[in-house]
A and B are shown apart, each in its own frame.
Chain A
Amino acid sequence: MCTVCGCAEGETQIEHHHSHAHDGHHHDHEHSDDHIHVEGEHTHDYGQGAAHAHVAGLSQTRMVQIEQDILGKNNQYAVVNRDYFSQHGILALNLVSSPGSGKTTLLTKTIELLKDELELSVIEGDQQTTHDAERIRATGVKALQINTGKGCHLDAHMVGHAVENLKPAEQSLLMIENVGNLVCPAAFDLGEAHKVAVLSVTEGEDKPLKYPDMFHAADLMILNKVDLLPHLDFDVEQCIQYAKQVNPRIKILQLSAKTGEGMESWGQWLKASRALHLINYKTGGS
């Protein structure tokens, strides 16, 4: 496995592509060489020169100014991904949440809702297993699983590779289901148009305050499983207030992927976001 991705060297596994429609015709997709080896030439022989060059009593110590963002490399890959999505009119969304908030069910229901109107594909991130990608593929939509191994989040480099394999269609909707984790994925830009935070009402209403980075980074918060509200003490208004406190710009949708309540609004949000995204694609702007 490639060693340039920071989080889980040798642990990350990306499924081989499951699309059967692409035998042989490679069009102008990302060139993997450019992508993988942005600055990836590592050499590991630093230990050898010093002894020869070193003069006893003469220190070679010096200061080097770097001023470089620690996540700079991830951000470079994210820029490459974002350019690719933009060139191909692909609306990419990064779905983030705690484990068990219902992201995969939300996705399968979203696919049912929209698959006659637009093309969708899904990248699934989990530490292990391909269960989620299999659930998505059962709906007839292309899906690819990334197993992060020890890693707790997807990064832009893994997503770049997944996109090469998955080959989302022009002008399609690409849903990236991040590893269930409200902490780390906040910091890793994948090149998506929007982060969508999914919070289920079986969790505490103070999650936005407990994990402010994530709710700050998200453009939309989906309050899922609202069909369970009659059985719970979850305070919806308080939750919304907390989310707005952390991120005054955040939009909020309440829905139940299970009963279908509120799914219509989510579908409209997706179609509207896609329409906005396609303006640049069609006019050649950026």
Chain B
Amino acid sequence: MHEISLCESVLQVLEQQAITQHFKKVKIVWLEIGALSSVEPEAMRFCFDAVMENSLADNAKLEIIYIAGQAWCVSCNKNVVIEQRYDECPDCGGLQLQINNGEQMRIKELEVE
């Protein structure tokens, strides 16, 4: 979807962190992207290089940590893995699911110098 804007947000965070954490160059960026986060990892990779060009993260490597979608099934009383927001419970077919993981899009850590 808006992967360019997300990459620009990532760059802003890197620029702020460069000041507070005293680094000058970013070599690797680890992002946690949840399956339910509405971020397309491939589109993110596509935009990342372009957005980081001529910045402190020029030529930085992007590592995406994919987080599976997870929800609590009220009927089964346990966590189940889901791939999309409207999935049924893979075990009982119920729709009473409360999503509890896989919505995140976070910058997890950086390798810097």
Q: Enumerate chain A interface residues (CB-CB to B < 8 A).
A: 4, 6-9, 39, 42-43, 46-47, 49-50, 59-74, 151-153, 155, 183-184, 186-188, 209, 212-213, 216, 242, 245-246, 248
Give the distance in Å from the alpha carbon of A242 to the alpha carbon of B85 in the complex: 12
Q: In the bound complex, do residue B8 and residue A62 qualify as a contact, i.e. CB atoms below 8 Å apart?
A: no
Known: A6-B5, A187-B1, A246-B86. A66 touches B17 (CB 8 A): yes
Interface residues on B, range: 35 or more
Q: In the bound complex, do residue B107 and residue A9 qualify as a contact, i.e. CB atoms below 8 Å apart?
A: no
Q: Enumerate chain B interface residues (CB-CB to A < 8 A).
A: 1-2, 4-6, 8-10, 12-13, 15-19, 21, 23-25, 27, 31, 38, 56, 84-86, 95, 104-113
Known: A9-B8, A63-B111, A70-B13. A213 touches B38 (CB 8 A): yes
- Taking a contact as CB atoms closer than 8 A, the residue among B21, B24, B38, B105 that contacts A64 in the complex is B21
* Chain B neighbourhood of A46, CB < 8 A: 18, 24-25, 56
* Chain B neighbourhood of A7, CB < 8 A: 2, 4-5, 8
Minimum CB–CB distance for A242 against chain B, Å:
8
Q: In the bound complex, do residue B24 and residue A50 qualify as a contact, i.e. CB atoms below 8 Å apart?
A: yes
Q: In the bound complex, do residue B2 and residue A187 qualify as a contact, i.e. CB atoms below 8 Å apart?
A: yes
Q: In the bound complex, do residue A245 and residue B95 qualify as a contact, i.e. CB atoms below 8 Å apart?
A: yes
Q: In the bound complex, do residue A73 and residue B111 qualify as a contact, i.e. CB atoms below 8 Å apart?
A: no
Known: A46-B25, A212-B84. A66 touches B107 (CB 8 A): yes
* Chain B neighbourhood of A63, CB < 8 A: 109-112
Q: In the bound complex, do residue B1 and residue A212 qualify as a contact, i.e. CB atoms below 8 Å apart?
A: no
Known: A6-B5, A47-B24, A212-B85. A70 touches B38 (CB 8 A): no
Q: In the bound complex, do residue A216 and residue B85 qualify as a contact, i.e. CB atoms below 8 Å apart?
A: yes
Give the distance in Å from the alpha carbon of A230 to the alpha carbon of B44 in the complex: 43
- Taking a contact as CB atoms closer than 8 A, the residue among A64, A67, A73 that contacts B106 in the complex is A67
Known: A64-B21, A64-B23, A245-B95. A70 touches B16 (CB 8 A): no
Q: Nearest A residue to B56 by beta-carbon distance? A: A46
Give the distance in Å from the alpha carbon of A71 to the alpha carbon of B110 in the complex: 17
* Chain A neighbourhood of B86, CB < 8 A: 209, 212, 242, 245-246
Known: A6-B9, A6-B12, A209-B86. A69 touches B56 (CB 8 A): no
Q: In the bound complex, do residue A70 and residue B9 qualify as a contact, i.e. CB atoms below 8 Å apart?
A: yes
Give the distance in Å from the alpha carbon of A248 to the alpha carbon of B108 in the complex: 32
- Taking a contact as CB atoms closer than 8 A, the residue among A8, A61, A70, A248 that contacts B107 in the complex is A70
Q: In the bound complex, do residue B84 and residue A72 qualify as a contact, i.e. CB atoms below 8 Å apart?
A: no
Q: In the bound complex, do residue B105 and residue A66 qualify as a contact, i.e. CB atoms below 8 Å apart?
A: no
Give 3 closest A-B pairs by Cβ, nearest first.
A7-B5, A184-B2, A212-B85
Give the distance in Å from the alpha carbon of A47 to the alpha carbon of B110 in the complex: 17
Give the distance in Å from the alpha carbon of A209 to the alpha carbon of B95 in the complex: 14
Known: A183-B38, A246-B85. A70 touches B10 (CB 8 A): yes
Give the distance in Å from the alpha carbon of A257 to the alpha carbon of B13 in the complex: 43
Minimum CB–CB distance for A31 against chain B, Å:
21
Most chain B Cβ neighbours within 10 Å, of A64, A155, A187, A216: A64
* Chain B neighbourhood of A74, CB < 8 A: 9
Q: In the bound complex, do residue B9 and residue A73 qualify as a contact, i.e. CB atoms below 8 Å apart?
A: yes
Q: Could you list 8 further interchain pairs (A-B, Cβ under 8 angstroms) beyond the known A6-B5, A50-B113? A: A7-B4, A60-B113, A65-B109, A66-B107, A67-B106, A70-B105, A151-B5, A153-B5
Give the distance in Å from the alpha carbon of A160 to the alpha carbon of B20 in the complex: 26
Minimum CB–CB distance for A9 against chain B, Å:
7
Q: Nearest B residue to A153 by beta-carbon distance? A: B2
Q: Nearest A residue to B23 by beta-carbon distance? A: A64
Minimum CB–CB distance for A167 against chain B, Å:
27
Give the distance in Å from the alpha carbon of A246 to the alpha carbon of B15 in the complex: 37
